[in-house]
Chains A and B, each alone.
Chain A
Amino acid sequence: MRNRSNFLIPAILSLALLQMLPFPARAGDQEFHSLVERMSAYYQKRPMRFMGWLDFIANRFTPHGVSHFQMVIFDDIDSSRTPPSEDFESSLASLVGPSYQPFVRVQEVRSGEWTCIYTRESGKERFEMLIVSIDATDAVLMKMQLTPGALRKWVDEPVKRGRDSREEARQAEVN
């Protein structure tokens, strides 16, 4: 019992401290934060809590060549606010901003799930990837930095990796 409380008290304290931090400090860079704010305004919903903690853990387990991983999840979104499929791409592009280049888009027609992947160059020999996955109930936003080698894997297998990202976004929602 004593051992258990020895572990629990610091864990609870660190979680409480984490939640006291302002959102940008938890969620990463300012640009990502403003994108989250735009999504938040669009869906009139705040993202799930504890994401800063998840980012901290995820950054320790990212695959080789991937770093600066950030993620937010908007759960129970109002699906009526999701744009119709013919306007979806342009609506999302305006939300994401012009600096990102659309790379892969996976649309699962029955479930109405969309996964859009954008990239851009970020400094010397680094690339940024932004993954937006939206279905009827949730929206997941992921941003990460890739080395040229990691980007190369995406260029070689964009369809497979796009599908994998959709699965990863699903897993993130479930967890």
Chain B
Amino acid sequence: MDVSCKKIRTSALMTLFGVMLAGTFSLTTFGEDPRLDIKNLEALSKKASEVVDVNLDGPLLKLASKFMTDEDDREGLEVIKNLKGVYVKSFTFEKPSDYTPADVEAIRSQLQAPAWSRIVSVRDKREGETTEIYLMTEREGGKVLGMAIIDAEPTELTVVNIVGPVDIDKLSQLEGKMGIPRLGEQTKEQKPAGHHEKP
């Protein structure tokens, strides 16, 4: 093999390596991975009376959508057909004082700008319930990459992580399904049109 051929091959390999490196950085360093590290919440498991984990991804999610053939399922199917995964972690506590807002920081710290934007934050003082919805969008193009929901009640804390493009206007189709809690009328009213609140 002559020297020029070797040079071309080396530079092609370097370019390929560069592209792969850039791809890795764009997903990890700049935080564009919508999958949350829910394992961060393991410390809370010791304080809870019950912990429920739901993993709905890969083949199971595909299969679920494959058999949503009823007329009533049409909108739901539209929402889940492009999703990569739905992950739910729910803690039940015996007393309201068994967990503090600081315990939720392990998750909230992963939902930082610029990758994530908090689009809904509702606090019901009477019921002691807080609901926050975060959205991860592509830097260029604004395509939704994933969503996170933190629903904190006095004796129940639920973290939902939806990976994949999800239409916020159709989120109600998933409420009460796949382990996703019902987010209530107040939350629906507060869904903004284009307004993104940074955390």
Contact = CB atoms under 8 A, between A and B. Distances in A.
Interface in B57-74: 58-60, 63-64, 66-68
Contacts, number: 74
A156 interface: yes
Interface residues of B, number: 25
Contact of B90 (A103, A155, A159): A159
Given A155-B178, A158-B178, A109 B49 contact: yes
A5 B46 CA distance: 56
Contact of A109 (B48, B64, B177): B48
Chain B's interface: helix, strand, loop or mixed, by majority?
A: mixed
Interface string A100-130: 0111111111100000000111000101000
Interface in A79-116: 85-86, 101-110
Nearest to B69: A148
A104 B86 CA distance: 12
B49 A103 contact: no
A121 B59 contact: yes
Given A109-B45, A121-B63, A127-B63, A156 B177 contact: yes
A105 B88 CA distance: 10
B64 A151 contact: yes
B42 interface: yes
Nearest to A152: B67
Interface string B178-198: 110000000000000000000
12 contacts: A103-B60, A104-B52, A106-B50, A107-B52, A107-B53, A109-B45, A119-B60, A152-B67, A152-B68, A156-B177, A157-B177, A159-B54
Closest 7 CB pairs of A and B: A148-B67, A105-B53, A107-B51, A155-B64, A158-B54, A159-B179, A158-B179
Interface of A: 85-86, 101-110, 119-121, 125, 127, 148-149, 151-152, 155-159, 162-163
